[in-house]
Amino acid sequence: MDIRSIASAASGYSAARPATQVDPEFTGASATEKLKASFAEFTNTMQVGEQTAVQSMTQGGDPHALVQALAQTELAVETAVTVRNKVVEAYQEILRMPV
């Protein structure tokens, strides 16, 4: 295994680590704004990935940029699917509660 890939993985992990920590300011109106910003960021990631793919296929763009855009898009979709699954699971749990 190449040392550069290990260093890259370690730097990616350290950059993503703060995303797993709870934000104490995530309440009320700020929660709504942050949720809207997350949706906008997801949409932006999808658009950038699509534009990069089209550019790479039609104009012979940088293949490294294509791979990076596809990886970011894949991560965004996997995150959205995971969040959706958790919401559905919570809804089903609420339905199972006795009244």
Q: pLDDT at position 90, please?
A: 94
- What does the pLDDT look like over 7-53, one tens digit per residue? 666 666 666 655 555 566 655 567 788 888 888 898 898 888 888 88
Amino acid identity at 34: K
The 8-class DSSP code of residue 25 comes to T
Residues 6 or more apart whose Cβ sits within 8 Å of residue 80? 42
Angle at 70 between CA 19 and CA 13, to 5 degrees: 30
- What does the pLDDT look like over 40-97, one tens digit per residue? 898 898 888 888 888 888 888 778 888 888 888 999 899 999 999 999 999 999 999 8
